[in-house]
Chain A
Amino acid sequence: MHPSTLPSTEQVWRWLSEVPDPEIPVISLTDLGIIRDVAWDGDTLVVTVTPTYSGCPATTVINLDIERKLRDEGIGKLRLERQLSPPWTTDWISAEGREKLRDYGIAPPVDGTAADGRLMARVDRLSGSSNLVIACPHCGSNNTERVSQFGSTPCKASYRCKDCLEPFDYFKCI
């Protein structure tokens, strides 16, 4: 590809926003906030990706999906790089992504509870004054309880709504 015909990085970001997360297909890789950088190194496109959890089995699938999408769009030379630092945090999930999660039946991470905020949430919970409200994504009730700290994937916890009685996943904060 001649340098003057290379697609812009903005165009590449748009393509990546069409690649769904393999485990939660309602949100895209850009909603999830795991694409750290898109850049041209000469005529090679370099996409930098950060893992969510270090053992997440979706990581390999995500890399394959990125490659397939960009090849389909005509990118000939492509390099995927892994970036660990700074580590991914649920704070990077976009506002739009959070709403899509809720519509899909997964309670999105509560803003500002990653890292230090999580500890404070624990203090509140143990002292019985928790203000960390995980609203039921089905009926909107705040009357919910945690069933297990781990859900169907490492990134989720299992909750239950005490009003509509439906179980649901909560995308927990890291």
Chain B
Amino acid sequence: MPSLPDMTTPNVDALAAERAAGQGAAAPVEMTPDLQAALVEFLLRMGDNTLILGHRVSEWCGHSPVLEEDIALANTALDLIGQTQLWLGLAGEIEGQERTADNLAYLRDAAQFRNVLLVERPNGDFGNTLMRQFLFDAWHHVMLTALQRSSDPRVAEIAAKAIKEVAYHLERSADLVIRLGDGTEESHKRMQASLEDNWSYTGELFVADDSDVAVAEAGIAPAPDSLRAGWDAVVNDVLEQATLKRPEGTYVHQGGKRGIHTEHLGYILADMQFLQRAYPGATW
């Protein structure tokens, strides 16, 4: 039997039962103003990652190489935007300044966005989009797995919902990275180039700052570097099956998590926010 990425979808019913019995989940902690600010920051990071990647992936709609892939990318984008509504909705609710998920998505400027730089990278070719997706999905899946045991039940229930969707994202992106990596000479060459192109942007997913430490100590979210081993296991396994060579570079591009972005984000926001900026409050 071929080796498999570890994609075990946790048994949600068992987790729910454990939680009901007061086991499994970390004990709730007292919410101080500092911890609340760190939690809002964490939720913005989760929601901005899914929002910006969802928008990027949606740019493929109508342009994919075949109809099935067009539909698959659009559906993946839809899942990510749906998860954004949950994360940013909770961020706005906890922040308590009457900002809705829509306000947060459409009315913040680039420096207020908290997504990692990886997700704002340009799409490149189809292979590059799939490689970026795979590197993100592998992280997303280990992150949501850990978040199901969050000491904050609101975070845990969003994670339990999202992980079911993300399990399909990871399965699909891993399959395609393998198929294209272990494909023709041309597809192999492009996938290796895509891997090297995106590699130095993956490290930011595992770097912690003060707010990461605060939510980790409160048992709300895992410490970012604790996800590294799980991510490595999935990535190494898939790259091996894809006959791709894991880059040796250790340089980490970072800044997105604290609002310092590449110029690409500005173009995404110009496109995404145009309507609400030009016609404030427009609804349909």
Contacts and interface: CB of A to CB of B under 8 A. Distances in A.
Interface of A: 51, 53-57, 84-87, 89, 115-116, 118-119, 122-123, 126-127, 147-154, 158, 172, 174
Nearest to B87: A54
Counting chain A CB atoms within 10 Å of each CB, the highest count among B78, B80, B81 belongs to B78
Nearest to B76: A150
Contacts of B81: 55
A55 B86 CA distance: 9
A132 to B, nearest CB: 14
Given A54-B83, A84-B157, A87-B12, A122 B72 contact: no
Given A55-B81, A57-B78, A115-B12, A84 B72 contact: no
Interface of B: 1-2, 4, 7-13, 16, 68-69, 71-72, 75-76, 78-83, 85-86, 153, 156-158, 160-162, 164-165, 167-168, 171-172
Contacts, number: 99
B2 A127 contact: yes
A55 B12 contact: no
Contact of A85 (B2, B4, B76, B157): B157
Given A85-B160, A86-B160, A53 B165 contact: yes
Nearest to B74: A150
Contacts of B7: 119, 122
Contact of B82 (A55, A127, A174): A55
B155 to A, nearest CB: 11
Given A84-B161, A86-B160, A150-B68, A126 B82 contact: no
Contacts of A154: 75, 78-79, 165
A52 to B, nearest CB: 10
A116 B79 CA distance: 20
Contacts of A116: 8-9, 11
